[in-house]
Chain A
Amino acid sequence: MKKLVLSLLLLCSTSAYSQLTTLNPDTVCYQTNGSIYQVTNTPGVTYTWTVAAPGVITSGQGTNQIGVNWSAAAPGLIPNAVSVVASTAAGCNSPASNLNVLILQIIPTIQALGPFCTTNACVPVVTSPAGGVLSGTGVSGNQFCPGTAGAGTWTLTYTVTQGGCVFTATTSVVVNPTPTLSPISHN
């Protein structure tokens, strides 16, 4: 039992660290919070972090790991957005280690379409940027099929995923029912 617990602890620990990467720049999703930055810890050393405004250090200053809130940052590349210097008790400093941060924002679009009748054929849905996924009632690939969707107002969603960030656009499509005629009566 004791060995099992130890194994689980090791797995959890490995998993936590395996989520970190040294890729530069760090891609941060626009208007998100909760970025974590870390360097290898050396006992007896103090770490002084600097974060480019409007980034805000939310935790860990002085330690080897900090949390940063980038939610106020505009989209784009921030050179040397995160820097850290290690200092010994004797006051000797290391050279700074720097990391660029890319605040990533993508604005997907779906060109408006419709209204349709249920008898209309499938139509292509124009989206941008390429590479996203179109979903919703009546969607087949990159097409919207009114007949499949049926009468009603439907929401189409176009989802673009990049750098771990997810961006979406939606549009509503109206599909009108096909009028039905009674048989022609006559005298």
Chain B
Amino acid sequence: MKRLLLILSLLQGTVFAQCNGAQSFTLTPPPVGNQYLPGQVVTMCYTMNGYSQAGSNWIDGFDLTLGPGWANVQPATAPANCGGNASGGQWLWLLAVNTPVGLVGPGYFFDLDLNGNPANDFGDSGSCTWTFCVTLTVAQGCTPQSLAIAVTPGSDGLWGSWNSTSCDGATPFVVFNGTINPQLPSVGAISHN
């Protein structure tokens, strides 16, 4: 069925470079002055509303790209299964996935055949609203390291076993581009008698 859809879309000339729906995020607590303090714990929730399924591509995962200022990332809430439980599969939190185009992760990835490897099967079918949350911890340090957060949605044609390139244009969605506020102490001028 999926191959049939691909043939139809190619015949119609419908090849999408970008298949992602509208994306949004929340950061809790919000940054102050585009910065977070060392040791601070931040919850990032990401939402993508819809997926074009061009070339019968299905969403296969959400890859996180994090700046070196983040010491730790933990899963909090996984995306809901758009295809429904009846279609099988599940969203997994994985630190690394060896896809046909290289390693991705950490992030949430869809494992349709429940073998623990999202790279050897299809993604989550349909066009839904996917939301997930992760908990990030700011590193201790004295330098204003990057706390960049980007989410890259990827199709099963890119990261899975589907053979369409219609959604290969995986574009990182920038959530945050701030830095650590190391709160360096300051000393004013020396006074004397």
For B182, give the chain A residue with the smallest CB separation. Answer: A92
Contact A37 B182 (CB under 8 A): no
Q: Which residue from B184, B188, B190, B192 sits with its C-beta under 8 Å from A92?
A: B184
A84–B189 alpha-carbon span in the complex (Å): 10
Whether a CB of chain A sits under 8 angstroms from the CB of B115 is: no
Please encode chain A, from 1 to 38, with 1 for each CB lying within 8 Å of some chain B CB and 0 for all others: 00000000000000000011111101000000011111
Contact B188 A40 (CB under 8 A): yes
- Using a Cβ–Cβ cut-off of 8 Å, how many residues does chain B contribute to the interface with A? 16
Whether a CB of chain A sits under 8 angstroms from the CB of B142 is: yes
Whether a CB of chain A sits under 8 angstroms from the CB of B186 is: yes
Contact A22 B191 (CB under 8 A): yes
Knowing A42-B185, A88-B185, say if A35 contacts B142 (CB, 8 Å).
Answer: no
List B157-189 residues whose CB lies under 8 Å from chain A.
Answer: 182-189
Whether a CB of chain B sits under 8 angstroms from the CB of A135 is: no
A residues with a Cβ closer than 8 A to B are 19-24, 26, 34-40, 42, 45, 47, 82, 84-88, 90-99
Given A26-B192, A45-B185, A90-B140, 6 more pairs with CB closer than 8 A: A35-B193, A84-B187, A87-B185, A95-B186, A97-B189, A99-B189
B residues with a Cβ closer than 8 A to A are 38, 140-142, 182-193
Please, could you name 23 A-B residue pairs with CB atoms under 8 Å apart, sorted by A? Answer: A19-B193, A22-B188, A22-B189, A22-B191, A22-B192, A23-B192, A35-B192, A35-B193, A37-B190, A37-B192, A38-B191, A39-B187, A42-B185, A86-B185, A86-B187, A90-B38, A90-B142, A92-B141, A92-B185, A93-B142, A95-B184, A95-B187, A97-B188
